[in-house]
Structure 1
Amino acid sequence: MNNSRFSIVLPLVISISICAGFLICYVVMGDVFDAQKKSPGVQKLEDVLNLLDSKYVDPIDRDAVFEETISEMLHKLDPHSNYIPAKDMALMSESIEGNFSGIGVRFFKLRDTISITHVLSNSPSEKAGLKDGDQIVRINGKNAAGVKMSTDTIMSLLKGKSGSSVNVQINRYGSLLSKKIVRGRIPIKSINVSYMIDDETGYIKIDQFSIPTAYEFRQASTNLLSQGMKKLVLDLRNNGGGVLDGATQIADEFLKDGLSIVKTQGRKIGTKYYTSTSRGSLKKTELVVLINSRSASASEIVAGAIQDNDRGLIIGRRSFGKGLVQEDQKLRDGSSLRITVARYYTPSGRCIQRPYSDGMEDYYNDPTRTEESMFKVDSSIFIDSLKYKTIGGRTVYGGGGISPDIFVPLDTTGTGVYYSALLWGGAVNQFAYDYVKRNRFFENSPWSSLNEFKTQFVAEKSLIDELAEYAAQELGILPYQNSDIKHCKKKLSIQLKSEIARQIWQENGFFSVYNDFDNEVLEARSSL
């Protein structure tokens, strides 16, 4: 069914489904509504679907229309209530639980070939003898190279039940090797970056909040404390949130006993208070939290608790503004309704949920929360009705999101259309992979440590020119004018050096290099 036909049918069904206020109950409760007891609204929706199925000019996918109807109805309530089809539930559960069953490699497609960037430590792939830089060319006897195989298809072939096996053929520098890999549980780590910036300052980046996040955080912070950490930069930029308990446990690591972390309040679930305990090893560690417009939900809980309790500085740009709490209700067919059941409030009483009365599209595309907020402070929230006080008496504001204590505008120096095309078109990371592989750095790095690499390696002009030529030949990415390469040379040099470090030392390598030039991290270091 094509999109244009779908866009004609769907509004009609949605208009009726909104009137059918009992539809969710019918789907969830199941047996409560039998054929004799259906509400008029539910019966009307079924009649419409039957008429469309029998009368509409083109064939319709009845199930698809029905599922889209549920999603659209929920989005009329708020932007975060959602319907999750059964086929998407497994992936959603993996993200929340922080693990899945597979072979344990990170890869991307290069010249339509599965190219392994990292074999995870102690993973099934490592045990089977796979190495960084290997390329998978066959999976269970089927050709996997040069056949336009999608990433979803690749994942479905490599993932599977723990204890089951998958046979792969790999290309290792021209030699074809066959490997049998017995699948196992693979962690989806929330924290892939933690290192010492200097002798006293640690850095931890949290990508999302899942069930194991708090445990991972304690492991990372304990390791940094053992290296002499007295100050911490906690990076929550681009972290869209996740599990509430993960956020409250991490906030508890910093706050002294008995302080408010967050309050949730809902019409049906009542009010719940989360307070800090005496547990935690970072009560005296100096702290800066980094946020931006893509820091949301659980990230905002942590940032709000730190800010309202005057426990540390918040640096960056105003956060997204998601202050609604969802609860999953599983349906009989394996799908799920993610229903908003409460709002959460920071210790000062702020509900940081931003307005959504203008609809979902405006909610996600509000220019005051995207382009404009990147470069200047939004002064529209600085009004008395949105004014709150921290535990120490400082003024903070509601109105949607957490406003940082120190605003740092987005740095666009040296960027442009050509730079963006190279970065988002995959040219930089693909070139870095090829560079490391052809020089055999995967197996024999000429640098004894990451710090030695940072000191010795320089992405010279000749290497930048080589990258530009590579992008043109391999990906068709060309400069728009002769000055483009010169304009972004410094930015490209930093990005390329960081990507090469990532290929050898994974995420710690990338951020250890890149953060030395990151304005928000530099501001954090100077503020500690």
Structure 2
Amino acid sequence: MVNKKRDIALPIIIALLLILVLFAGQFFFPAIHLFGNNKQSTYQQVLELVKNKYVDPVNLDSIESVAVDELLKELDPHSNYLTPIEVTESAELLKGHFEGIGVEFSLFNDTATITYVIPNGPGEKAGIQPGDQLVSVNKHSLIRKNISTDTIRSLVRGKRNSIVNLTLVRNQQSLQLAVKRDRIPLPAIEAKYLLDSKTGYIRLERFSETSYEEFMQAVEMLKKQGAQQLILDLRGNGGGLLSEAVDIADEFLDQDKLIVYTEGNKIGKQEYRSRRPGQFENGKIFLLIDEFSASASEVLAGAIQDWCRGKIIGRTSFGKGLVQEEYNLSNGGALRLTVARYYTPLGRCIQLPYQQMDTLQKNRYFITPCKDTLRAENGITPHIKIPSTTDTTLLASVTIMNALSRINQFSFEYYQQNISRLTKKNSPQSLLTDKELLKDIWEKWIRSEKIATTSPLAYSSVEKQFLTERILATIARYKWRSNGYYQILNANDSTLRVAMKLINQ
């Protein structure tokens, strides 16, 4: 009897679920029309792309009634649907520029405060200054509780050559400014400077359309300053464009060396090889990676490691060995679909194992020309592993995290109040050696913290050093931009210290 009831109920339940999926598709994807429209729906487009492009064979019969997001979850961790807003934001990062007014701002006490104005940018040309408070954009008031930076950013940005009308407050006086938007660069390289007389340092934040060009400019500058060896910092670099990683790898490898190859069920094997004389084929090269180094970062690290071209130092990388292509959908969104795996020159796919439709053979090992044994999956394992630092432990502290949330405002106000003193400094390192400055910053920080929090302040010496360095780094950013910021933080960086010791042996 129970079985008969179940047999009757099951088709009804399935039918109801199918109807729910269809109407859920209507709700989340307006481009999907159930009736009276011959235009191919978003859902149908996704199914067609999965059928024709996905890396492995797929039995669509078992999943074709599932909504787009659920469908993609059945595939792998990196195939995903992007909303129209996400498409725009992703495109800006990959293109290496956006269209706006060329200012940076932070929310201090629920008020958008301008913290930096790009020289010769549209904001500076219109008269915007650091310290100005932004109170309205095109008559949209920004003076309200819990307004988000994303909301403000979306109002300020817009098409190139369009006009945005701003209301600002400066020295308690209201200002009305019309700013003509323009193209604003998003640099991929955050820092480039000499660590010593012969060692250059480059921190690459992402692989965007401008990464290779920026990298070449940085290498040229460092070589002119005397650099003979290079430390390339890929920590926190989540990847980007494969082509940019290939071009940068080409600068380190001899001609016609395999850098990476891709292969999928619907896409044949495609090889990417070094094809020109590189600018840094002979000097020592060390790469720094961590658990957030992924995708294109791992392509570059894998090529360097497989060819024994340099040393990898840090922590095991993320483990993303899948290649996505982006397909525009009719609703303005996009499908980012895995179409292939990428393999290092030795044939390693370093993808972290996943439970979905993963068909990759596990537990494979490879021997390099220099007799190193390398594992295939689970990311790039460094030659020299650096354990988690004190910083990692501190970042787990609620007290420290709360303090970090207030550092931006304190550092900006301190910089503005002491700008005449700080402009006399000729390098970021000079901040670290000024004992009077360090004492003054800490005393004023403690004073401001007593006002901001009711919790008792009892920082350990390690916590004091950690917070002082971040305050100094933030102050250095206002004067020397990200180059100054990383010069402060790198001064006591344990991974970089090990790299420097080894590269100079």
SS in 1 for 2:433: helix
Matched, 1:508 2:473: no
Does the CA contact (< 8 Å) of 1:139 and 1:167 recur in 2?
A: yes
Partner of 2:30: none
Q: What's the CA shift for 1:140?
A: 2.7
Distance 1:24 1:355 in 2: 30
User: What is the alpha-carbon distance in structure 2 between the residues aligned to residue 344 and residue 228 of structure 1?
Assistant: 36
In 1, are the aligned partners of 2:75 and 2:357 still within 8 Å (CA)? no
Letter in 1 for 2:428: L
Identity fraction in percent: 38
Q: How many angstroms does 1:395 deviate by?
A: 1.6
Pairing of 1:107-146 with structure 2 (within 5 A): 107-146=105-144
SS at match of 1:488: helix
Alpha-carbon distance change, 13 to 113 in structure 1, aligned in 2, over 3 angstroms: farther
How far 1:279 moved relative to its partner? Answer: 3.2
Question: Are the equivalent residues in 2 in contact too, given 1:422–1:471 (CA < 8 A)?
Answer: no
The answer to whether the 8 Å contact 1:428/1:496 transfers is yes
Question: C-alpha distance in 2, partners of 1:507/1:463?
Answer: 20
Q: 1:445 corresponds to which letter in structure 2?
A: T
Among 368, 380, 400, the alignment partner of 2:378 is: 400
Query: Deviation string for 1:168-195 (max 9, x for gaps)?
Result: 2333344443322110011121112111
1: distance between equivalents of 2:245 and 2:63? 43
Partner of 2:467 in structure 1? 492
Q: CA deviation at 1:458?
A: 5.9
Q: Which sits farther off after the overlay, 412-421 or 297-306? A: 412-421
Q: Which whole-Å CA distance do the structure 1 matches of 2:500 and 2:378 have between them?
A: 27
* Distance verdict in 2 for CA 1:504–1:392, change over 3 Å: same
Residue 490 of structure 1 aligns with an amino acid whose one-letter code is Q
- Identify which of 410, 415, 433 aligns with 1:431: 410
Task: Describe the superposition over 1:16-56 as per-residue Cα deviations: whole angstroms up to 9, x where unpaired.
Answer: 79xx9x997723589xxxxxxxxx979995xxxxxxxxxxx
One-letter amino acid of the counterpart of residue 332, structure 1 = S
Structure 1 partner of 2:295? 297
Q: Does the alignment pair 1:420 with 2:400?
A: yes
Bigger drift between 233-242 and 428-437 goes to 428-437
Structure 2: give runs of 5+ residues left out of the alignment: 1-13, 26-39, 49-59
Once the two structures are TM-superposed, the CA of residue 144 in structure 1 deviates from its matched residue by 2.5
Task: Summarize the alignment of residues 331-342 of structure 1 with structure 2, pairs less than 5 Å apart.
Answer: 331-342=329-340
1:341-383 deviation digits (Å, cap 9, x = unpaired): 10000111111001011799xxxxxxxxxxxxxxxxxxxxxxx
Contact 1:291 1:317 in 2 (8 A): yes
AA partner of residue 257 (structure 2): L
The answer to whether the 8 Å contact 1:459/1:493 transfers is no
Q: Which amino acid aligns with 2:484?
A: G
State the 1:525 CA deviation: 0.7
Q: Give the secondary structure class of the aligned counterpart of 2:129.
A: coil
Structure 1 residues 142 and 436: CA distance shift in structure 2, 3 A: same
Q: Give, in whole Å, the separation in 2 of the partners of 1:168 and 1:24.
A: 38
Aligned CA distance change for structure 1 residues 435 and 262 (closer, same or farther; 3 Å)? same
| Equivalent residue runs for 1:67-466 within 5 Å | 69-357=67-355, 385-412=363-390, 415=394, 417-418=397-398, 420-422=400-402, 424=404, 426-440=405-419, 445-456=423-434, 460=438, 463-466=441-444
Partner deviation per Cα, 1:144-167 (whole Å, 9 max, x = no partner): 245543212211211111111112
Could you tell which deviates more after superposition, 405-414 or 75-84? 405-414
Q: Is the 8 A contact 1:498 1:511 kept in 2?
A: yes
Secondary structure of the equivalent of 2:424? coil
What is the one-letter code of the residue matched to 1:452? S
Aligned-pair distance for 1:124? 0.9
Question: What is the CA–CA distance in structure 2 between the aligned matches of 1:345 and 1:29, rounded to whole Å?
Answer: 27
Cα shift at 1:218: 1.0
Q: Distance in 1 between matches of 2:337 and 2:170?
A: 49
Cα distance change of structure 1 residues 79 and 149 upon mapping to structure 2, 3 Å threshold: same
The 1:359–1:267 alpha-carbon spacing in structure 2 relative to 1, beyond 3 Å, is: closer
Once residues 316 and 180 of structure 1 are traced to their aligned partners in structure 2, the CA distance between those partners, rounded to angstroms, is 48
Q: How far, CA to CA, are the matches of 2:114 and 2:137 in structure 1?
A: 14
Task: Please give the alpha-carbon distance, in whole angstroms, between the structure 2 residues aligned to 1:43 and 1:499.
Answer: 50
CA distance in 1, matches of 2:193, 2:115: 21
Are residues 291 and 459 of structure 1, via their aligned partners in 2, closer, same or farther at CA, if it must alter by over 3 Å? farther
2:182 aligned partner, one-letter code: G
Alignment coverage as a number of residue pairs: 458
Normalising by structure 1, what TM-score? 0.79
1:478 counterpart = 2:462: no
Distance, in Å, in 1 between the alignment partners of 2:155 and 2:179 is 12
Q: SS at 2:251's partner residue?
A: helix
Task: Output one character per residue of 1:189-247: Cα deviation in whole Å (capped at 9) or x when no partner.
Answer: 11121111121111111111111111111111111111111111101001111111011
Could you tell me which amino acid in structure 1 is paired with residue 455 of structure 2? L
TM-score (normalised: structure 2): 0.83
Q: 1:43–1:216: structure 2 CA closer, same or farther, 3 Å change rule?
A: closer
CA contact (8 A) 1:419 1:492 kept: no
* Contact 2:235–2:289 under 8 Å retained in 1: yes
Residue pair 1:459, 1:496 contacting (<8 A) in 2 also: no
Distance across 1 between alignment mates of 2:247 and 2:75: 30
* Aligned residue type for 2:499: A
In the alignment, the residues of structure 2 paired with residue 486 and residue 521 of structure 1 have an alpha-carbon distance, to the nearest angstrom, of 22
* Contact 1:137 1:144 (C-alpha < 8 Å) held by counterparts: yes
The change in CA–CA distance for 1:14 and 1:446 in structure 2 (over 3 A counts) is farther
Identify if the C-alpha distance between structure 1 residues 188 and 274 changes in structure 2 by more than 3 Å, giving closer, same or farther. same
SS at match of 1:77: coil
Q: Deviations over 1:239-281 (max 9, x none)?
A: 1111110111111111111111101011111000111122331
**d(CA) in 2 for partners of 1:508, 1:522:** 18
CA distance change for structure 1 residues 29 and 504 in 2, over 3 Å: closer, same or farther? same
8 Å contact from structure 2 (residues 46, 68) kept in 1:
no
Moved more, 280-289 or 339-348: 280-289
Q: State the 4+ residue runs in structure 1 displaced beyond 4 angstroms.
A: 11-17, 22-25, 40-45
2:76–2:356 CA contact under 8 A, matched in 1: no
- CA contact 2:96–2:185 (8 Å) conserved in 1: yes
1: distance between equivalents of 2:151 and 2:241? 28
